[in-house]
Structure 1
Amino acid sequence: MKNCCIIFLILILYPVPFLYAQDKDDSGDKYFNNPIAKGADPWVIKTDSCYYYCFVKGAGIAVSKTTELHKQGDPVTVWSPPSEGWNKRCIWAPELHYVRGKWYIYYAAGESGPPFIHQRTGVLESVTEDPQGAYIDKGMMFTGDDLRKKDDPRENRWAIDMTVFEWKNKLYAVWSGWEQIEKTDKTQQYLYIAGMENPWTLSTGRILLSKPDAKWETGGPLDLNEGPEVLINGDNLFIIYSCGQSWLETYKLALLRLKDKDADLLERANWEKSGPVFTGNNKVHGVGHASFTTSPDGTQNWIVYHSKIDLKPGWRRDIRIQQFTFGKSGAPVFGKAEPASRRQPKPSGNF
């Protein structure tokens, strides 16, 4: 969750994600231990030759490059916020995507906070082919209900955790947002979806996709749906999202599944909710905001997620990875969150 003082505390306490020591990595050891770094809202994308992690560094956004999934690599700051404007503060949960020939970074930001009531989504476009190179700011996205009113700032809406994806040659965005403009950040968050005209512009008004209405995602002090990430397995399309309260050990993952591969993604009735699909335990607490990738040789599926460092209510978090599979129904099977004491085999193969 990125309400109240969540990200403010993260930025103050953990401004730069750093690597944890890995046992015997340089001596050919085939195992690693979680956690792999401190930080939150991990995003990783794989290319033909490496992995790129994208995260908040200081007040800006950094991209690191690595050939080993369990090592983030050295960060390179690719963008810093302006001294004035809507996106000068509170940079949250950036994601790096390769969309139709260029690299783009989607991020949330606001003019002030706390309280974090101004968060909107912005887009950065790469100037070069290098994801660690320079970016230009494409501006704030309109994430309201009516595109005819996109030039009216009163019609835009609070929006964080945006991710983008292609399905059947069409581009879509999914994010977490508020139903209305509010004066408090103690506001429920819903998931929304929209079609995209291009990587920085929506082609439709937002469509409500999910509210925290299932028994296992309600009952807390502030019920949330956030951190949506897309996971595709053949003809199966899933949106894996976080629910509950991120400052508590009960934070967890759930999923939405498109009922039919040919169904309209912009119809809420075409999605089926189930969960929880990944939870913490007595050794790993408050798992959430995951991203997904494969091993260097492409034979294994891996989840990258954050968890709470301790049981105290708060947002001290670290980053973990572990292998997962798909079941007979095509849905992901994440298993249990592995404790730091368990040595895990490294992702298979080399680039």
Structure 2
Amino acid sequence: MRAIATAILAFVFSCTGFSQGATFTNPIRNGADPWVFQKGEDYYYCASSGGGIAVSRSSKLTDHGALQKVWDAPDKGWNSANIWAPELHFIAGHWYIYYAAGKKSGGPFIHQRSGVLKSKGDDPFGPYEDMGMLYTGDDMSDPGSVKWAIDLTPFEHRGQLYATWSGWEENRDTDRTPQHLYMAKMSDPATISSNRVKISSPEESWETGGVLDLNEGPQVLKHGDQTFIIYSTRESWLKEYRLGQLKLKAANADPMIAGNWVKSGPVFLGNDTVHGVGHCSFAKSPDGSEDWILYHSKKGTDPGWDRDIRLQPFHWHADGSPDFGAPVPADTPLPVPSGE
């Protein structure tokens, strides 16, 4: 075990060029589904909070600052309950928050759909306008045919805006339903403008074997002219939760064609001391010289959703794909992000 820990630390220190200086330790806070958006010299964080969504701003990756609620869910309607995994993005002069919600509190979680909020100005702390539910189905002529969808995130590719998310093939009366990754075109940050296409299903041996096969939490990561989707797989409530990767075959490839994505994994996996790693987001260090992954992990090995949030640097393989290494054990001193 000591040899493994030493190897992990060597990897981390090589990422940061560490010699001496300020350090921090994981976990950095309680919670799950961490989200960070970097704009200028600040980092913006977003989280579910008390039946709504909260945002914070900080100059640091290691200290997220105080969350301030920016939106409360309505008392009734499709998005009145189960507010999950919000993401904050700045697009074309406005802030947008993408989130999942349902019309009934608690489980079974069969009503989850994806929605979006838009800031009325350019202030990330609002006020926000509820732009409604996003269409995540197979027949845009029938808005009522929207399908179960969570973890929606937007991204731009060759001048076109897209959305990718985790969804079901068909709406079901049980939440023990396999989850796949889907994608659709967007005509603007609040409007999906095409039927969805499926780009990934839990089919590999490292994605299956538990009580429920799923792909969820897709996050787009770009490096040079390469595009990756890093996603979570296996069950979120189990220690086997982990990250997989889709790589777009070529810089000019159409991301709406499933065959243009190459799957590999697991690319980030728990170990004897860090369990159930998943649902990540990414940022550069304050000085732009380092790449960091923000993710959550389970606090123990028993099934459940008691989780905390962690942060560590990563490298790149020779082929340009991300090298996340291994999760760093809790309370291990790590050098703070360069420039912090």
TM-score (norm 1): 0.90
The aligned residue for residue 96 of structure 2 is: 104
Deviations 1:244-285 (A, max 9, x none): 011111110000000011111100000000000000100100
- Structure 2 residue runs of 5 or longer lacking an equivalent are 1-19
Amino acid of the residue matched to residue 136 of structure 1? E
- Which of the numbers 272, 282, 306 marks the counterpart of 1:316? 306
Say which of 207, 220, 236 aligns to 1:230: 220
- Could you tell me how far apart the structure 2 residues matched to 1:114 and 1:313 are? 16
1:141-164 CA distances to partner (integer Å, 9 max, x unpaired)?
1110121222xx2x1100000001
8 Å contact from structure 2 (residues 35, 87) kept in 1? yes
Q: Secondary structure at the match of 2:339?
A: coil
1:136 aligns with 2:142: no
Q: Does 1:95 align with 2:95?
A: no
Question: Structure 1 residue 46 and structure 2 residue 67: aligned?
Answer: no
Q: Distance in 2 between matches of 1:299 and 1:29?
A: 17
The CA distance in 2 between the partners of 1:281 and 1:42, in whole Å, is 20
Q: How many residues get paired? A: 320
Q: CA deviation at 1:36?
A: 0.4
1:138: Cα distance to partner?
0.2
User: Match of 1:69, as an amino acid?
Assistant: L
* In 2, Cα distance between equivalents of 1:261 and 1:100: 23
Which aligned runs of 4 or more in structure 1 are off by greater than 6 angstroms?
none
Does the CA-based 8 Å contact 2:21-2:335 persist in structure 1? Answer: no
**Cα offset for 1:133?**
2.1
Q: Does residue 333 of structure 2 align to residue 348 of structure 1?
A: no
Find 2:61's aligned residue among 44, 59, 69. 69
The answer on 1:190 being equivalent to 2:183 is no
CA distance in structure 1 between the aligned counterparts of 2:121 and 2:93, rounded to whole angstroms: 11
Partner residue of 2:291?
301
Question: Aligned residue for 2:255?
Answer: 265
- Contact map agreement 2:45 2:57 (CA 8 A) in 1: yes
Question: What SS is found at the alignment partner of 1:147?
Answer: coil
How do residues 240-279 of structure 1 correspond to structure 2 at under 5 angstroms?
Answer: 240-279=230-269
Contact 2:244 2:264 in 1 (8 A): yes
| Match for residue 211 of structure 1 among 197, 201, 209 | 201
User: Does the 8 Å contact 2:27/2:331 carry over to 1?
Assistant: no
- What does the per-residue CA deviation read over 1:90-135, in whole Å, with 9 as the maximum and x for residues that have no partner? 0000000111221100000000031111100010000121101210
What is the identity, as a one-letter code, of the residue corresponding to 2:82? C
Work out the CA distance in 2 between the residues paired with 1:139 and 1:247: 29
Q: Equivalents in 1 of 2:316, 2:123: separation in Å?
A: 33
Q: After the TM superposition, which residues 117-196 of structure 1 pair with which residues of structure 2 at under 5 Å, given as runs?
A: 117-150=110-143, 153=144, 155-196=145-186
| Equivalent residue letter for 1:135 | Y
Partner of 1:59: 51
* TM-score scaled by length of structure 2: 0.93
| CA apart distance, 1:341 | 2.8
Structure 2 CA distance, aligned partners of 1:169 and 1:36?
Answer: 36
CA RMSD, 1 decimal: 1.0
SS at match of 1:148: coil
State how far apart, in whole Å, the 1-side matches of 2:306 and 2:184 are.
32
Aligned-pair CA distance for 1:64? 0.6
**Counterparts of 2:80 and 2:192 in 1: how far apart (Å)?**
23
Q: C-alpha separation between the residues in 1 aligned to 2:67 and 2:127?
A: 14
Alignment partners' CA distance in 2, 1:169 and 1:98: 16
Is 1:114 aligned with 2:136? no
